[in-house]
Each structure stands twice: as C-alpha cells, then as structure tokens.
C-alpha cells in the first residue's frame, strides 16, 4: 500500500456501538483466531521470498495459499485462479468463494494482496494475508446469509493490476455489473511497528471520502459498522482515515461500497528488504484478526448461534504478560490465572528451532541468547499463547 503521509481522522474518545448488538457466537469465533497460526503463516510467507508479480516466488506464494485453503476443507471448485497480464508480465489472483444461504448471489468481498517488492513483504502484505487465512479457516463451516469471496490479489505493487483486472473483467464486463457486491473489505499493511509494540492499540478504518461521490455515504456507514465490530470483538480502538491507493479502489471507481483496515502507527519498512517478521508486531496482527472475523460475520450476517460442528478456542492465556520486553537476562511471566500450575514456556527462533524450554517457571533465564528477536510460546493443557520476545543488552 502506498498511502500519503497526511491522514484525516476522527476521535477515538467515543465510539458509538449504535444499533449493532453484541453477539456471543461472533465473539466466540473471533476468539478462535489463533495467534500461533498467525505466527506460522507470517513465517511461512516470509520464507517464500520476494514475491514480485510475475516471478516464480509469486507463483509459489499463490500455490501456498491454495494448499492452505485445501487444508482448511475448501474444495477445488471453490478455489479459482484468475490470470491476468500487463506489459510482458503474467500473474494470477486467487479467489475462494463460500456460498451464502439466503443471498448466494450477493457477495461480501474480503481482499488483500500477496505480492511484494524488494523484500519478503511480511507487513505489506503478509499481515493482511495471514488474517484472511484465519478468517477463512474459522468461517468455513459457519452459515452466512451472504456469500463471501476471499480474494488474494497480485500486482498491487505495480499499480493495483490484479484488482483492476478483477473489477473490470470479472465483477464488471464493460459497464455491465456481473457480480452483485454488498461491499469490499480490504486488509493491507496491518503489521504494526515493532518498536512501538506497546502502543499498537489503535487501527485505522478506511473510509471512502473521495472518488465517486455517490458511494461515500454508504462507505461512511459500513466503516462505522467496522469500528463498532472492532470495539465489540477485539481490544483495539479505532480512528478513521481516507481510503487511499490499495485494492478496494478499482471497486470504488465502479461505485461499490468499500472499507478496510490499515495500521495506525506506520512501519518504516514496506517495499524494503527489512519488511521482515522481526519488524512486525504479531500481537497487533492477531488483534486485528479478531476484529476482522467479528466484522466479516456482521457484514455477511453469520448464524448467531454456534453449530455442533464448530470448534472454538477461548484462550484464558490471552492476557499473559511477559516483562521486561526487551529483556536483558531474565524474563518474568505473569499468568492471567494464579490457578495455572502446570505449564511450559519455549523460546524458538523464527525458523521454529527450539532454543530453550522450561517447565512451571515464571522466571526464565535468557542470558545465553544473543541479541535479537525470538518467539516465546507458553502452553498449558490445550491452550497456547505466542509472544514475540526481544533480547537487547
């Protein structure tokens, strides 16, 4: 995403929930977002290299996404490759369709790009990609009134090539509207800034304030709904910024309703070799994931009660505190429940190699670790929580 530096925003002091009501089933599914899965997806995305549109790495990333959806239980006929070309470059978008029950021919689109330039693109846009994967995993068996399309665009970094292709040739053919789109919900650059990890508690909600004037009011309404869902189903606060140059713009130019998430404290590293896992805040991504799952259920009108086939993961470890962080020699673990007596704590590198493991210890000696960023994993019973750990002396 190439956003301008000046933002217009509204106050975070008061967020009206308005007519939207808290729905426990939505919260349970939002709570099923796995921080461990977010970490794994980000690491795997990083390992795929620089995913320049048209490159083999880009094609490998598309195949990796396909395998993810198949592993979640989506069938081959739900997963469609959408090829496009520009100049001498050939690439593909990936489109996954989950059919709605009452309005199967009306679509909520959740989208984000998976291409990168100059670096692995873990923030821009492995962050949005990892959230889309978690949302698709959790909602696969959940009945929604409206159909959902999970669209992974390529060519964003070259000027929204993939999303323009899809909007102009699939959603529309000439002036004819082929897809009945309820709204487009975009996730781009939501990885946060690691040096500000303790301050990453606000997310921007993108609102259409320009372009075609006829869809601005509708975007304002759905963006307020996005803010409401964020307040209901995540610990984050929100501000509003104007929609900018990312993959919802081709749809806005067709008159469609758009909204989206974007990090409030902006990373310095997009489009560089330093856009790596170490320079993102996975806890922030996890929280935006919860907000995204809550909002997507609202937009697509999910079943308000849990089905017998649904598995949720309410994690009482979510409030785990690790301090100091950055740490010099000893980490302190403050568990949210004093009754937890049996637990393990592991530290791995970003490739998943185990570096140390302790049992039932709230003080962990890390003096043998070199300066750098690591992954800390606390487990008890069937619960797990993952945190990034920084060692700095």
pLDDT band at 7 (very low <50, low <70, confident <90, very high): very low
- From residue 93, alpha-carbon distances to 53, 68, 86, 166 in Å are 10, 15, 13, 8
* Average pLDDT value for residue range 356-360: 96
Position 311 in a domain: no
Output 391 or 246, whichever has higher pLDDT. Answer: 246
Question: How many domains does the structure of the chain reveal?
Answer: 2
At residue 350, the pLDDT reads 67
- Tens of pLDDT, residue by residue over 247-270, are 999 999 999 999 999 999 988 899
Position 14 in a domain: no
Position 217 in a domain: yes
Position 307 in a domain: no
Same domain (yes/no): 279, 210? yes
At residue 386, the pLDDT reads 78
Closest CA to 257 of 373, 109, 149, 136: 109
Position 308 in a domain: no
Same domain (yes/no): 296, 322? no
Bridge partners, 186 (sequence order): 111, 260
Tokens representing 249 are: 């713009």
At residue 296, the pLDDT reads 98
At residue 311, the pLDDT reads 57
317-342 burial, b if ≥16 CB within 10 A, otherwise e?
bbebebeebebeeebebebeeeebee
Position 360 in a domain: yes
N- to C-terminal Cα distance for the chain?
Answer: 34
What pTM was estimated for this model as a whole?
0.84
Q: Final residue of a domain: which of 300, 328, 345?
A: 300
Same domain (yes/no): 321, 295? no
pLDDT band at 19 (very low <50, low <70, confident <90, very high): low
pLDDT band at 328 (very low <50, low <70, confident <90, very high): very high
At residue 13, the pLDDT reads 32
Tokens representing 308 are: 């017998």
Q: What's the CATH code of the domain at 333?
A: 2.60.40.10
Q: Final residue of a domain: which of 300, 328, 354?
A: 300
Same domain (yes/no): 277, 330? no
Domain range for 339 is 316-391
Q: Final residue of a domain: which of 245, 270, 300?
A: 300
In the predicted structure, residue 345 carries a pLDDT above the cut 50: yes
In the predicted structure, residue 356 carries a pLDDT above the cut 50: yes
Position 3 in a domain: no
Position 93 in a domain: yes
Nearest-5° Cα angle at 90, 85 to 93: 80
At residue 317, the pLDDT reads 73
At residue 222, the pLDDT reads 97
* Average pLDDT value for residue range 69-91: 97
């Amino acid at each position: 995403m190439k956003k301008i530096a000046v933002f217009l925003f509204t106050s975070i002091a008061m967020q009206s929930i308005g007519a939207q009501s808290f729905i426990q089933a939505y919260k349970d599914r939002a709570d099923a977002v796995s921080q461990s899965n977010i970490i794994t997806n980000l690491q795997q995305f990083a390992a795929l290299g620089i995913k320049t549109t048209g490159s083999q790495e880009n094609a490998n990333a598309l195949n990796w996404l396909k395998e993810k959806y198949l592993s979640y239980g989506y069938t081959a006929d739900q997963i469609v490759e959408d090829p496009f070309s520009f100049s001498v470059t050939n690439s593909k978008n990936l489109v996954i369709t989950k059919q709605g029950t009452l309005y199967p021919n009306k679509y909520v689109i959740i989208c984000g790009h998976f291409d990168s330039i100059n670096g692995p693109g873990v923030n821009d846009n492995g962050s949005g990609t990892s959230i889309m994967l978690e949302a698709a995993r959790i909602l696969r068996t959940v009945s929604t009134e409206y159909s959902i399309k999970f669209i992974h665009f390529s060519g964003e970094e070259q000027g929204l090539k993939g999303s323009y292709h899809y909007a102009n040739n699939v959603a529309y053919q000439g002036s004819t509207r082929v897809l009945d789109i309820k709204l487009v919900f975009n996730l781009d650059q939501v990885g946060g800034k690691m040096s500000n990890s303790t301050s990453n508690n606000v997310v921007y909600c993108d609102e259409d304030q320009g372009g075609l004037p006829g869809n601005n009011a509708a975007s304002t309404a759905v963006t307020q709904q996005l803010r409401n869902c964020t307040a209901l189903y995540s610990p984050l606060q929100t501000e509003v910024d104007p929609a900018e140059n990312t993959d919802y713009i081709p749809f806005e130019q067709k008159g469609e309703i758009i909204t989206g998430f974007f990090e409030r404290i902006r990373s310095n590293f997009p489009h560089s070799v330093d856009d790596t896992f170490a320079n993102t805040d996975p806890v922030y991504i996890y929280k935006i994931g919860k907000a995204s799952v809550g909002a997507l259920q609202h937009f697509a009108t999910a079943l308000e009660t849990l089905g017998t086939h649904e598995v949720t993961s309410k994690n009482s470890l979510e409030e785990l505190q690790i301090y100091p962080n950055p740490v010099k020699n000893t980490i302190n673990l403050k568990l949210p429940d004093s009754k937890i007596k049996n637990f393990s704590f592991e530290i791995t590198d970003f490739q998943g190699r185990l570096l140390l493991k302790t049992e039932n210890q709230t003080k962990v000696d890390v003096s043998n670790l070199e300066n750098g960023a690591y992954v800390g994993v606390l487990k008890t019973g069937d619960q797990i929580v993952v945190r990034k750990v920084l060692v700095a002396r």
